[in-house]
Structure formats: C-alpha cells, structure tokens
Structure 1
Amino acid sequence: MNEPTTIQDRINTSYAGLSDKLQIAAKFAAKNPVDIATRSLRSVAASTGVSPATFSRLARALGYADYEQMRQDGRETVERKMAPFSERAHALRLATSEQGSSTVLHRQATACISNIENLHNNIDPDRLNAAVQCLHDARTVLLIGAMGSAGIIDYFGYMAQWFKGNWKTVGRNGTELSPSLSRLGSDDVVFALAKAPYARRTIAALKTAREAGATTVVITDSRTSPALQFSNHSFVVSTESPQFFSSYAATLVLMETIISLLLARAGSEAEGAIRAAEVQINQLGENWIP
C-alpha cells in the first residue's frame, strides 16, 4: 500500500480525524503551501491564531517526524506545483530524455496507483451512496467541466446516457450553460468536476445552482478548492503525477464506480434502455463490422 506523497495528500487523508485546532492548521497548510515552505514556524503560527506547537502536532499527525520535515516536503511540492505548465513540461522533457521508457512508465503508473489507493482507502461509502442516490432521484442532471476536465465530463455523460435520458453536458460554453442553469430547481442536480487551475465558469455555475435550490455534487482535488463552498456532496481526489498536468486516473475510477452504482439502482429498466440503444446503433450502422 502506497502512503500519501504530499502535504495535500496527507491532509486529504487525515483531515476528518483531526482536532478543531489541528484542522485550522491543516486548512492553512493546504491553502498556503508557499508560507509553509518559506516562512518560519513562529511566523506561520502568528498568521493563524494557533500556537507553533499546534503546527508541530499537525506535522506528526500527518506522519512527518517533525515540522521541519513537513516544511521540506512543502518546498518540494511548491517547486513542483507552482511552476507554469510550460516550465513543468520543460523539466519533464529533460528528465524523460535521460530515462528509458520503462522508467517513465513506472513513475507514471506508480503515481496513478497511489492516487487510486488513496481513493480506495479513504472514500466514505455512506457519502458515496448519498451522492449516487441524489443523482438517481434527480429530475435532470447537468454535467459541468471546463478546460482539462471537459473531456472527462464528456466521458462520464456518455456512460450515463446509455440508460439515463435526463443527463446533459452543458459546461463547454456560456451559450448552452446559461439557459440550462436558468431552469434549475430543487429537483435538479449539478455535477461538476473542478481541478486546479480552477475554471471560473465551473465555480460560477455551482454558485448559481445552489442559489436556485439545486443539489450539487463536486469532484475536486483539494480541500481548499473554491468549488467546495458550493457543494452539497463532495469528493477530494488525489491528482499527483510526474506529468506536467494533473492525473485524472483516480477520478475516472470514482466516476466509473458511480455509473455502476447508478446502473444497479436503475435495475431492469436500465438494461432495457441499453438494449434499445444497441438496436438503434446497429440500425444506423455506427459500429464497424469486419
């Protein structure tokens, strides 16, 4: 079993079990990695209203030997994450040119496996079932994902539409999104995928959905994500990767799990819908036949 690899991963894994004071320190550490990496312990503590000893206890609660080890981890995380995509791509290209393809594959696979194990070990089944039930009961479900999340949301919607006719992907442009949001009510659900860098359109859509009384389900990558303040049901999923962009591997596992649970709830009616879709696809000649 792989251990969490960054401060953010460790906080995501341990947050619910921390005391109130440790949660205050953890929120600060997650939201201000540069401060953790560059400022003294006394200075960081003064900014939060909790004692330096609280941050030292947080470090040990997260599995570090002491605060200095957590701080060093923070420095490495900042160096890796704060750089623009272009700089990360440059570093990746140089590193990859010095490694064999098997090494590159191993590093990528190891990161993805760690993310998936974190998801598997820390997902709350009751929270997952509650979110799935909302999606099952909804009058309509709007799917929103922009920038790097757009294609992943398209795939999620494609799977659901085999047996859910009331799901619609709307986040790609404002022309389609605005009228869809204007029709939301308390029987509707907005499902959003929000990964850093966070798309302004996604956060604004979640805010509008909550104001309209709709239920919101969010998958994001950090407990400091701006999407969480507008979520009824939320899942923080690790995205660590040696790539220049975030990994969606664990997110896909969660989405495919949600589809499986929805299918089980829909029962034989879903099977009939899928069978009818298959017949229509054959009639249209969409599949290549050798």
Structure 2
Amino acid sequence: MRIDERIAQHHGELSPQERKAAASLLEHLDDLATYRASELAALAGVSKATMSRLFRSLGYADFDEVRDHLRSLRTPGEPHRVDGTPDLAAHATQEHRAVQRTIAQPGVDEVVRLLAAARRVTVVGWRNSHPVALHLRQQLAHARGDVRLAPLPGQVMGEELADLAAGDAVLVMGFRRRPAGFGAFLREAAATGATVVLIADPTGIEHAAAASTWLECPVQGLLAFDSYAAAMSLVSVLADGVLSELGRPGSARVTAISRTYDRLVEVER
C-alpha cells in the first residue's frame, strides 16, 4: 500500500501533530527521500519524535523503510517521464484495482440516495477535476432535473452558493493540484445547509472534515500522468445508481430526452 493510501486509511487514528506531519508528507512526496528524518520534522514543524511515531502508525519500521518507499513515488500531480518502456500490463492491473477499490466503498450507496433525493444537485470541479465534474453532471441530467455545473467558464462561485439551502446536494471533485481556496469553498458550501460530498484522491483527506461524505478515488498510476479511470468509473456507478433509485420517472426522462434529440436531429442514429 502506498504511503498516501496508508495516511488516508489511518488518518482518523492520528494525533493532531501526526496529522500535521502527514500533511507535509503528502505535499512533498517527490523530494522527501532526499531528507533526513530530523529535516523532515523541521519541514513539517513537528518534533522528530512525532515524525517517528507517524512512521510507526503507518506501519513502517523506521525512516529508512519510508525513504525506500518514497523513492518509488513521484510528485503528486507532476508528470514525470517514465524511463524505458512502460509496463502496460502492470499499469492495467493497478487501474483495475483502483476501480474496484473506488466503486466498492460503503459511502457510494449513500451518495446515490442523496443525489436521487436532493432538491437540486450542484457538481463542482476546477482544473483536472472539471472534466470529471462535467461528465457526472451530464449523466445525472439524463436521470433527474435541476443538476448544475460550477464554476462555468469565466464565472466565480459566489452566485452558486447564494441559492443553496438544506435539501440541496453539492458534489465537489477535488483531485490533487487543487486551486487555492478549495478548503474555504467547502466550508462555505457546508454553511449553506446543503449536504456536501467530496470526491478526491488520498491527498484530499485534509478537506474531508468539511464534507458530509468523502469518497476516496486514487489517480496515481505507473505512467507519467495521473489516471482518471477510477474517477470516470465512479461517475458511471453513481449515475446508474441514481437512475435505478428514481425508477420509472427516471426512465421516462431518459426517453423524453432521446425523443427531443430525434426531433432536433442533434445526435447520430
């Protein structure tokens, strides 16, 4: 298990100082292997003893074991060229495991019910998260009405937050290299009374407390760029679940939309 996954798994068991140290590890995975343990502690602003306790809490014997592991990881979100010919078979295996782990989370069913029952659904995503958010909004809009995407090009979020209230759902995509102010937005969204769902890679654990539900979705693979295969599979599972949850009204909406496509000759047949 990668160190970022271990941090996500054990985050709730860590002390506040260990969480502070863990956050530093997640932010600097690429170059941590070049530091000594004392330097890592200084970088995180914690004691060396705290850093050592964190390593043990994560299942490592000592920092040497952590260093060996860190050397195998690249900077979160930063593309690095893969030396030699990529092992595509190993890549496919890891992708398969990531998809299975993501869609099998207990919280998925809870999110499906929320998205089906909410008065309004707002799907939010910036940067790399935006295409995933756009796809989810498109799929949900086939099954139910009043599904919004934010932010729209050239727009900010204040207007979107102004209309939110209890009974609404806000689903936020938060994959790594999130924009500054991401945490502030989550807190503002939660303050409206709407139910907030966060879908993020393991580095998003620091923002999980601001959401009612957090679904972990890994993006780091064996190739140079992040993979969103698990994220897109989760979108399909959520949309399918909502359509099933809504039953006949959802199916009737799909049929009505398809008939409109035909009348407007909008898609190929």
When normalised by structure 2's length, the TM-score is: 0.82
1:166 to 140, 143, 146: 146
Letter of the structure 2 residue corresponding to residue 256 of structure 1: S
Secondary structure of the corresponding residue to residue 72 of structure 2? helix
| Pick aligned residue for 1:280 from 223, 239, 260 | 260
CA contact (8 A) 2:17 2:50 kept: no
Contact 1:171/1:202 (8 A) holds in 2: no
Correspondent of 1:75 among 71, 78, 82: 71
Match of residue 174 from structure 2: 194
Structure 1 spans left out of the alignment, 5+ residues: none
From the superposition, tell whether residues 172 and 37 of structure 1 become closer, same or farther in structure 2 (CA, over 3 Å): farther
RMSD after superposition: 3.0
The equivalent residue for 2:247 is 267
Do 1:145 and 1:193's aligned partners in 2 also have CA atoms closer than 8 Å? yes
More helix by share: 1
Amino acid at match of 1:206: L
Partners of 2:77 and 2:177 within 8 A in 1? no
Alpha-carbon distance change, 261 to 83 in structure 1, aligned in 2, over 3 angstroms:
closer
| Residues matched between the structures, number | 263
Segments of 4+ in structure 1 off by > 6 A?
none
> Quick one: distance in 2 between partners of 1:214 and 1:130?
15
Alpha carbons of structure 1 residues 112 and 24: separation in structure 2 relative to 1, 3 Å: farther
Q: Provide the identity percentage.
A: 21
Q: Is 2:14 aligned against 1:15?
A: no
- What does residue range 115-194 of structure 1 map to in structure 2 within 5 Å? 115-120=98-103, 123=105, 125=106, 127-173=107-153, 175=155, 177-194=157-174
Report the Cα distance in structure 2 between the residues aligned to 1:83 and 1:266, rounded to whole angstroms. 37
Alpha-carbon distance, 1:38 to partner: 4.4
Contact 1:241–1:247 (CA under 8 A) maintained in structure 2: yes
Q: Which has the higher contact order (CA 8 A, sep 6+)?
A: 2
Match of 1:222 among 172, 187, 202: 202
Query: Which of 22, 25, 29 lines up with 1:29 in the alignment?
Result: 22
CA distance 1:82–1:194, change in 2 (3 Å)? closer
- Residues 44, 208 of structure 1: CA spacing in aligned structure 2 closer, same or farther, 3 A cutoff? same
SS at match of 1:110: helix
Relative to the length of structure 1, the TM-score reads 0.77
Question: What secondary structure is seen at the aligned counterpart in 2 of 1:197?
Answer: coil
Encode CA deviations 1:83-129: one digit per residue, 9 max, x unaligned: 844xx2xx24xx3xx42xxx5533432331232243256x2x2x333
Structure 2's unaligned 5+ residue stretches are none
Q: Which moved more, 1:31-40 or 1:105-114?
A: 31-40
CA distance in 1, matches of 2:71, 2:268: 52
* Distance in 1 of aligned mates of 2:231 and 2:162: 28
